[in-house]
Amino acid sequence: QQAPPPPPAKAAGHVYKISPEGFVTDVFSEMAVLYSLTRADGKLWIGTGSKGELFTVDPVTEEAAVLYEDNVSSQITSVLHVGTSAFVGLSNPAKLVRIDAPLHRRGTFVSDFFDAGQPARWGKLQIEADIPAGSKVTLSSRSGNVSDPNDQAFSPWSPEVDLSEAAELNCPVARFCQYRLTLTASPDGKTPVIRQVAAAHVVPNLAPRVVAVKAERSRDKKKPYAVDVTFAAADDNKDTLEYTLEFRKVGNTVWIPLKDKLDQTRFEWDSRTVEDGRYEVRVTASDHRNNTPRTALTGSRVSDPFVIDNSAPAIAQSAVTVEGDDVVLSLSIRDALSVLGKVQYTVDSSENWMTAMPDDLVYDTLTETFTIRIKDLEAGRHVVAVMMADDAENTAYKTWEVDVP
């Protein structure tokens, strides 16, 4: 039994707001240790580790943003506000950083990779944002089939497009997509604020694959005529598949319908409905249940040739001679399609059947010769019966009446 999934991880650091009435509100939580806490311009400045991140939190709206992240030092241990600047003390290793209040007129944000799981067609990027008059947000994107933008197959950044409304991610079909937002302030210093981003994509429909087809005589002794057709199929879109089975004689070019609208990967074929011969079965998988008629696809596979044999062996030549009190049967037994599997004989309807071996002592061909000597028979008339079966267990009988002097 599969183990249940682990419970979601809990945040390690919290900042709580306690009202004069004693109500407690969790205004900030993060999977990090909190090392410093200050307040400036109505917002909380929270220094954390081990990524050296500095957060600002509005205690009223509880909105949080990463103001600064250090790629070298691990912890932000103190923040001191002096005038319009903030001095940030870091440790491991020690560092002092100054953050000036005036905002830059232009800045960029590069996203993590979106992973579609397989090559996808990327649609529009939508944002929830405040874009003051005169300010601007533009979008550029790139894509590739590995999460490494330095890979030679990764596309270059697309030309910048305005993002005041949803805009297309102009990047090639690929598994991974990355976008870049460029924010430009208005002439009077007002800057855009991005709250939420959503990227649309659709995975192109991929054709289903029939990976294996097997047709063999049923192992059910009560149905020696049945052919079990089994197969396996896969669909990378995880679509529900429907199957169509067809058959033909080896050498023919026209496929004949056998079964359609099949949702199982096994079919029992009553082979008595066709003549004996060598056949092939073709299995076609369709994903039309999860796609439109325009986008639905199919995939097929043909089985190895197999034999349908519902006819018993027959005696091609026979000779019966009496030598004293012995009877000798010289037989040539032939089957049209299957190797001979067993020959037995009995005398005078005895329940004791005796096994006969081919003259070459091996059952390995469609035609075998037999020399059956029945010894020490009493004088009089006797009935000799021969049972012959092929490898497909088709059985026939032949009898002779002989007189022993």
- Residue 375 pLDDT exceeds 70: yes
pLDDT of residue 139: 94
In a shared domain, residues 191 and 137: yes
Q: Do residue 324 and residue 294 come from a single domain?
A: no
What is the per-residue pLDDT for 11? 55
Asked if residue 50 lies in contact with residue 74, where contact means CB atoms within 8 angstroms, the answer is yes
Q: What is the pTM of this model?
A: 0.62
Within-domain flag for 70? yes
The residue to which tokens 């870049």 are assigned: 180
Q: Is 315 exposed, middle or buried (0-12, 13-18, 19+ CB in 10 A)?
A: middle
With residues binned 3-state (H G I as helix, E B as strand, rest as coil), the percentages for the chain, rounded to 5, are 0, 55, 40
Tell me the CATH number at 333. 2.60.40.650
| Phi and psi based region of residue 265 (left: phi greater than 0; alpha: psi -120 to 50; beta: remaining) | alpha
| Predicted pLDDT at 118 | 86
Residue where a domain stops, chosen among 154, 170, 202: 202
Closest CA to 343 of 370, 364, 366, 318: 370
Q: What is the CATH number of the domain that holds 138?
A: 2.60.120
pLDDT tens-place string over residues 130-156: 999 999 999 999 999 998 888 888 999
Average pLDDT (220-229) is: 93
**Residue-wise DSSP of 179-199:** EEEEEE--TTS---EEEEEEE
pLDDT number for residue 100: 81
**Is 119 among the domain residues?**
yes
**Same-domain status, 242 and 301:** yes
- Tell me which residue of 48, 66, 61 sits closest to 12, measured CA to CA: 48
User: Mean pLDDT of all residues in the chain?
Assistant: 92
pLDDT of 102 above 80: no
Within a domain: 262? yes
Please indicate, yes or no, whether residues 157 and 198 belong to a single structural domain of this protein. yes
How does pLDDT run across 272-316, given as a tens digit for each residue?
999 999 999 999 999 999 999 999 999 999 999 999 999 999 999
Q: How many CB atoms lie within 10 A of CB 340?
A: 21
In a domain, 388, yes or no: yes
Number of domains in the chain: 4
**Whole-angstrom Cα distance, residue 123 to residue 202?**
7
CA distance 172 to 78: 45
Shared-domain flag, residues 328 and 275: no
Q: What is the amino acid identity at position 143? A: S
Kindly report, residue by residue over 29-72, the tens digit of the pLDDT.
Answer: 888 899 999 998 889 999 998 889 999 998 888 888 888 899 89
Separation between Cα atoms, residue 208 and residue 190, nearest integer Å? 53
Mean of the pLDDT values across residues 17-28? 90
CA dist 306 and 229 (Å) reads 11
DSSP state of 378: P
pLDDT of residue 1: 45
pLDDT of residue 50: 82
Q: Are residues 337 and 290 in the same domain?
A: no
The answer as to whether 381 is a domain residue is: yes
Residue % of the chain over a pLDDT of 90? 71
Q: What is the pLDDT of residue 4?
A: 52
- Whether 298 and 241 have beta carbons less than 8 Å apart is answered as no
- pLDDT > 70? residue 250: yes
Please indicate, yes or no, if residue 344 is contained in any of the structural domains.
yes
Pairing assessment for the beta strands 167-168 and 114-130 based on DSSP bridges: antiparallel
Residue 255 CB neighbour total at 10 angstroms: 17
Same domain, 178 and 221: no
Of 202, 220, 244, the position where a domain reaches its end is: 202
User: Where a domain ends, among 308, 332, 365?
Assistant: 308
Closest CA to 232 of 224, 241, 221: 241
Check which CATH number belongs to the domain holding 286 and give it. Answer: 2.60.40.10
Same domain, 277 and 319: no
Same structural domain for residues 354 and 399?
yes
Query: Is 2 a domain residue?
Result: no
Q: Within this chain, do residues 357 and 270 fall inside the same structural domain, yes or no?
A: no
Average pLDDT of the segment spanning 358-371? 96
**Two structure tokens written together for 363:** 């059952």
Burial (0-12, 13-18, 19+ Cβ within 10 Å), 270: exposed
H-helix or E-strand spanning residue 249: strand 242-249
Look at residue 393 and give its three-state secondary structure: coil
Say whether pLDDT at 401 is over 80: yes
Tens of pLDDT, residues 316-362: 999 999 999 999 999 999 999 999 999 999 999 999 999 999 999 99
Strands, DSSP E only, in 101-186? 106-110, 114-130, 136-144, 161-162, 167-168, 174-184
Residue 370 CB contacts under 8 Å (≥ 6 apart), including other chains: 329, 330, 331, 332, 333, 343, 356, 357, 358, 359
Q: Say if residue 113 is in the same domain as residue 88.
A: no
* Span 158-212, pLDDT tens digits: 999 999 888 889 999 999 999 999 999 999 888 898 889 999 988 889 999 999 9
Say how far apart CA 351 and CA 369 lie, in whole Å.
Answer: 24
Beta-carbon contacts of 378 under 8 Å, excluding residues fewer than 6 positions away, are 325, 404
Residue 289, beta-bridge partner list: none
Q: Is residue 3 part of a domain?
A: no
Clarify whether residues 157 and 178 are in a common domain: yes
Expressed as residue numbers, the domain containing 19 is 13-100
Q: 191, 195, 175: which is closest to 183 by C-alpha?
A: 191
